[in-house]
Amino acid sequence: MNKDLIAIFEYLEREKGIKREIVIGAIEESLRAAARKGVSGASNVTVNIHSKTGKIQVYCEKEIVEDVEVPAQEISLEEAREIDPDCEIGQFIDIEATPKDFGRIAAQKARQIISQKLRGAERDVIYEEYRHRVGELISGTVKKLIRGANVVIDLGKVEAIMPMKHYPKTEKYQIGEKVVALLYEVNDTDNGGAEVILSRSHPDFVNQLMTQEVPEINDDIVIIDRIVREPGYRTKLTVRSTDSKIDPVGACVGIRGTRVKNVVRELHNEKIDIIPFSQDPIELLQNALAPIEIRKINLNEDDRVISIVVEDDDFAAVIGKKGMNARLNSELIRYELKVLRLGDYKRTRAIESAELAKSDDPSLDVKLTRIEGVSNLILEHLLDKGYDTLRALLQATPEELAAIPGISLETADKILEQIRKQRI
């Protein structure tokens, strides 16, 4: 009994899920080339491996003739009938011709081919087992770290790779640690095999975790429309409901936050913002920044830029550490986001108004009869207080105009903004 071969068969069946028949077929095919060289001059050489014992037998086909001229390819009728009493001249018969040292020579010469065939068989198992599971969550155990920081995950039958770019920089792994990840893709390798790629940094990883925790997502009652992520630090996702009775944000958060807390725990305390979805980028941005109030907002559709002004005290929160919050919100609304402090905005606008007021444009001194976008009632209030020309208005501060009865600070800002737009 060839115990080494039997051990290989059992290992590949048990650990890799490769059927014994596939392994035997691969080895038989690979040994055929070595057998032809081992049996000099023989033709139609075949190799058989017994699945139970692992015994290797080499057969070569010989023609039955009266006079043997080429011993490697011919056999006399008398010798042939010792094997098969019913054979006749002109027929072909298989003769065992296993070289004495064939086991050692064959193993040495066929090692590379066997390895290729087994990689192909293992690749087929990987494709059969995992290709239809791309996009699903999968769990395994950290087996080793290779090439610096790529993580090898033992999934049972196969080993998967989680490249450094596919997990947050904040996460460090230990050998034997349990890991849950997204089955990202299955790729062919250069050596004829296949590899399973896992990811914990991809936005779909968070999507699958939420789907696992929130039955309404799994049932398509709550829809996750967009996910943007800074792996290890913050994720923002937008949700909406197909049922008006279901609050999508509340469903994702869960009672006392239990559902989202489970996801946060799996993400090693990465922050998650769950935001009501809107097709309107301005409304979506307001939802993302709530409860922070946007004091002023401007949409440039041509350049796909949204500029906002917020209170000085809110500026840091809107921008976030190293600009992360603004960057994620920009990805979420799919517009470039520009943020300005209210104080800076007022100073800039005051400088613009002062420069306009100093200009030699005679139209600035014409007595006002109307201001586009301003009601006659407000215009009368302005005229009563002596603000009867554009120059007089440009020289005033919003606070001074807001001191006039019937004019709010917001209205004062709008008046000055309207004048600046017309004159610049």
Tell me the pLDDT of the chain (424 aa) as tens digits.
567 677 777 777 776 677 778 777 877 777 776 676 656 666 678 888 888 887 888 888 888 898 888 887 888 988 888 888 988 988 988 888 776 666 565 555 545 656 666 666 667 777 777 888 999 999 999 999 887 689 999 988 788 999 999 999 999 999 999 999 999 998 877 766 778 999 999 999 999 999 999 999 999 999 999 999 999 999 999 999 999 999 999 999 999 999 999 999 999 999 999 999 999 999 999 999 999 999 989 999 999 999 999 999 999 999 999 999 999 999 999 999 999 999 998 888 888 888 888 888 888 888 888 887 788 888 888 888 888 888 888 888 888 888 988 888 888 888 888 888 776 5
CATH of segment(s) 278-341: 3.30.300.20
Question: What pLDDT is recorded for position 211?
Answer: 96
Residue 207 to residue 209: CA distance in whole angstroms: 6
Q: How many residues does the chain have?
A: 424
Q: Where are the domains of the chain?
A: 3-128, 134-201, 203-270, 278-341, 359-423
Please name the residues in contact with 58: beta carbons below 8 A apart, sequence gap of 6 or more.
31, 35, 38, 39, 45, 46, 47, 96, 97, 98, 99, 102
Question: What pLDDT is recorded for position 348?
Answer: 86
Name the class of domain 359-423: mainly alpha
Residue 210 to residue 3: CA distance in whole angstroms: 50
SS3 assignment for the chain: CCHHHHHHHHHHHHHHCCCHHHHHHHHHHHHHHHHHHHCCCCCCEEEEECCCCCCEEEEEEEEEECCCCCCCCEEEHHHHHHHCCCCCCCCEEEEECCCCCHHHHHHHHHHHHHHHHHHHHHHHHHHHHHHHHCCCEEEEEEEEEECCCEEEEECCCCEEEECHHHCCCCCCCCCCCEEEEEEEEEEECCCCCEEEEEECCCHHHHHHHHHHHCHHHHCCCEEEEEEEEECCCEEEEEEEECCCCCCHHHHHHCHHHHHHHHHHHHCCCCEEEEEECCCCHHHHHHHHHCCCCEEEEEEECCCCEEEEEECHHHHHHHHCHHHHHHHHHHHHHCCEEEEEEHHHHHHHHHHHHHHHHCCCCHHHHCCCCCCCCCCHHHHHHHHHCCCCCHHHHHCCCHHHHHCCCCCCHHHHHHHHHHHHHHHC
Question: What pLDDT is recorded for position 113?
Answer: 55
The domains spanning 203-270 and 278-341 adopt the same CATH topology = yes
Please name the residues in contact with 320: beta carbons below 8 A apart, sequence gap of 6 or more.
234, 326, 327, 328
Q: What are the tens digits of pLDDT across the range 260-288?
A: 999 999 999 999 999 999 999 999 999 99
Question: What pLDDT is recorded for position 300?
Answer: 92
Question: What pLDDT is recorded for position 326?
Answer: 97
Q: CATH topology for 134-201? A: OB fold (Dihydrolipoamide Acetyltransferase, E2P) (2.40.50)
Strand partners, 61: 94
Question: What pLDDT is recorded for position 39?
Answer: 63
Question: What pLDDT is recorded for position 341?
Answer: 95
The candidate with the shortest Cα–Cα distance to 58, out of 21, 99, 92, is 99
Question: What pLDDT is recorded for position 41?
Answer: 60
User: How crowded is residue 44: how many other Cβ atoms within 10 Å of its Cβ?
Assistant: 12
Would you say domain 203-270 falls under CATH 3.30.300.20?
Answer: yes
For the chain, state the CA radius of gyration. 39
In CATH, which superfamily holds the domain spanning 3-128? NusA, N-terminal domain (3.30.1480.10)
